[in-house]
C-alpha cells in the first residue's frame, strides 16, 4: 500500500475526474444580503435627517399684548423703504439722532419697530442694525393680533 503523491492527490490541489470531490461554482450570497439590509436600514434612518430644505409657514402670534408705555416710540419702515420715527419721515443716517431726541437720550427705552408686508427681511434687519448701533437694544416688533 503505497501513498501516491503528485498532481492527482488532495494535497496537490487538483482533482481528476475519478475523484469524488466536485468544485462548487456558486457564490454564497447570504453575507452580501446581510450587508445590504444593514445599509438599507442606515439609509432609511439617515435620509429624513439629511433634509435641509424645510418649508416654514409662521403662525400669527397669540401672546398676550404687553402694556405700552404712555408715549411709545415707533419706527416705521414704509413700502417705499423710507423710515419714519413717529409721524416724521427721517433719513437713515439721521435715525440715531432723531431717536435720541424722541427718547430724550434714554438708551434703555423700548423702541417699537413696524414694517409693511412688502418690506424685505434684509431691509428690516438693516433698520434694526441701525438702532442697535445707536445703542438701543430693547426693540419690539409690532404685528397684527392673530386672535380672531
- Angle of helix 121-133 relative to helix 95-103, nearest 10 degrees, comes to 60
Residue 6: per-residue pLDDT? 52
Residues in Cβ contact with 138 at an 8 Å cutoff, skipping those fewer than 6 apart = 108, 109, 110, 111
Interval 25-64: pLDDT, tens: 788 889 999 999 999 999 888 877 765 554 545 556 676 7
Residue 33: the pLDDT is 93
Q: What angle do CA 10, 14, 17 make, to 5 degrees?
A: 95
Q: Write down the pLDDT at residue 35.
A: 94
Phi and psi, residue 16, nearest 5°: -95, 170
Instruction: Name the nearest CA neighbour of 95 among 82, 108, 114, 106.
Output: 82
Grid-cell match 409690532, residue found: 142
CA distance 62 to 47: 35
Per-residue pLDDT of 17-34, as tens digits, reads 565 677 777 888 899 999
For residue 10, how far is the Cα from the chain centroid? 66
The band of 1, judged by pLDDT with boundaries at 50, 70 and 90, is: low
Instruction: Give the rounded percent of residues in the chain with a pLDDT score beyond 70.
Output: 70
Can you give the pTM of this predicted structure? 0.53
Amino acid at each position: 500500500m503505497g501513498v501516491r503523491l503528485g498532481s492527482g492527490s488532495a494535497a496537490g490541489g487538483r482533482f481528476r475526474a475519478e475523484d469524488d470531490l466536485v468544485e462548487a461554482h456558486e457564490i454564497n450570497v447570504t453575507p452580501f444580503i446581510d450587508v445590504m439590509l444593514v445599509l438599507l436600514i442606515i439609509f432609511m434612518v439617515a435620509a429624513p435627517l439629511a433634509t435641509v430644505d424645510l418649508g416654514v409657514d409662521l403662525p400669527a402670534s397669540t401672546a398676550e399684548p404687553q402694556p405700552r408705555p404712555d408715549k411709545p416710540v415707533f419706527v416705521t419702515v414704509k413700502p417705499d423703504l423710507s423710515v419714519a420715527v413717529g409721524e416724521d419721515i427721517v433719513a437713515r443716517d439721521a435715525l440715531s439722532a432723531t431717536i435720541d431726541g424722541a427718547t430724550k437720550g434714554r438708551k434703555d427705552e423700548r423702541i417699537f419697530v413696524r414694517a409693511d408686508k412688502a418690506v424685505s427681511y434684509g431691509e428690516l434687519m438693516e433698520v434694526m442694525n441701525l438702532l442697535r448701533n445707536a445703542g438701543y437694544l430693547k426693540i419690539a416688533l409690532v404685528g397684527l393680533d392673530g386672535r380672531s
